[in-house]
Structure formats: structure tokens, C-alpha cells
Amino acid sequence: MAAALARAALRRGDRVTLFLAEHAPAPRSRRTRLRRFVTSGDLRARLQETRPAPDVVLHAAAVSDYAPAPVRGKVASGRPAWTLRLLPRPKLVAELRRRHPRAILCMFKLESGVSRAELVRRATAAARRAGADLVFANRLEDVGREHRGLLIDPGRGGVTEARTRAAAARVILAACAAAAGRGQSAAGAVR
């Protein structure tokens, strides 16, 4: 989804700093600054190095909510089974809000096995906790070749459906522009 957002922003004439997983294909443009990462720690470090402050942050990365707990010393080889203990990680989207309080922040929320109403409720709550201006929410069962989902404006209560990855990118960028006072708000379904 990050590459689709970057392509749509480039078509609008925007400059883009794109943080992308190591082997993911990236759009090519002189207006794109590409920053690769492997782990959530790498991504966090790259984001902290970012200058100047962005006008808009589209946080589409599926960053791990948990990481393995550290183990002291050497663990002997040959164990027949392992038990992995996971610890919660700080929410990267909340860090982005703290670092860039003036930027328009759009986060993403993926759920599974929930109704549309519950998806909207959970995504709205997550956006409010993170201080996000917008949230693009979808269900795992609606993600595949396309990226069907809902763009939610928690402050105004608006919900806009997008039925393709390209439509999602257009709707998100239009809503960010509207939130920044540079365009019209997105409304209705986009195909």
C-alpha cells in the first residue's frame, strides 16, 4: 500500500519520502527519497533521522506490536522445542504523532472477523488513542490483490469506502489535502 500511496502522491506533484521494506518494489522518481528498513527497530531509527518535518504522514507499515523478550546468555543447541515470550512494543504511530504534532497523520488499522460497524468502532478508537487525523481501516478478509477498506475521519465522523488499492490511495490523499485546508473532503464510495 505504501508504494501505491507514493505513486499517487507523485502524480499529484508531491515530494515523497518513502520508508519501504528491504525488498519491496519502489516507484522511481527524482521527487522520491527512498529509505529502506528490515526490522521495526530499523524503521524507528530511520524515522527519527527524518528532516525536515513532514506536512503529511501516511503510516501504512504493518509494524510488529510485539517483539521477542531478550534471553540472557547462550541458549544450548539441540533443544527439542522452544517457548517464545513476546513483549509489547511502543506504538510507532503514537511516536510519529509526538515527533510531528503539526503533520496530518493517517494511520492504518487491520482487523479480522469483525463487522463493518465494529471495524469503524475499533479504528476510530485506535486513531483517537494515537492522535491520528485519519485512519484507513480494513479487514484481513477484504485484502488481497486489491485493498478494499474504509477511510475514517474520527473528528468529523466521516466514512469513505474505497474498493481498490488505487482508489484507497486517491481517497487518502484527498482527505489529507482537505484536512490541511488545500482541497475538498472525500465523500462517498470510490471505485
**pLDDT, tens only, 130-150:** 999 999 999 999 887 777 899
Side-chain half-sphere of 79: how many Cα atoms within 13 Å?
8
- Other C-beta atoms closer than 10 Å to the C-beta of 118 total 12
Mean of the per-residue pLDDT values for the chain?
A: 85
Contacts for 75 with CB less than 8 Å, ≥ 6 apart: none
Burial call 3-17: b when 16+ CB within 10 Å, e when fewer = bbbbbbbbeeebebb
Using 50, 70 and 90 to split pLDDT, how confident is the model at 182? Answer: very low
Supply the pLDDT for residue 124.
Answer: 96
- pLDDT value at position 149? 93
Domains assigned to the chain? 2-64+87-179 (3.40.50.10300)
0.75 exceeded by the pTM?
yes
Residues across the chain: 191
18-66 per-position pLDDT tens digit:
888 888 888 888 888 888 888 888 888 888 887 778 889 988 877 778 8
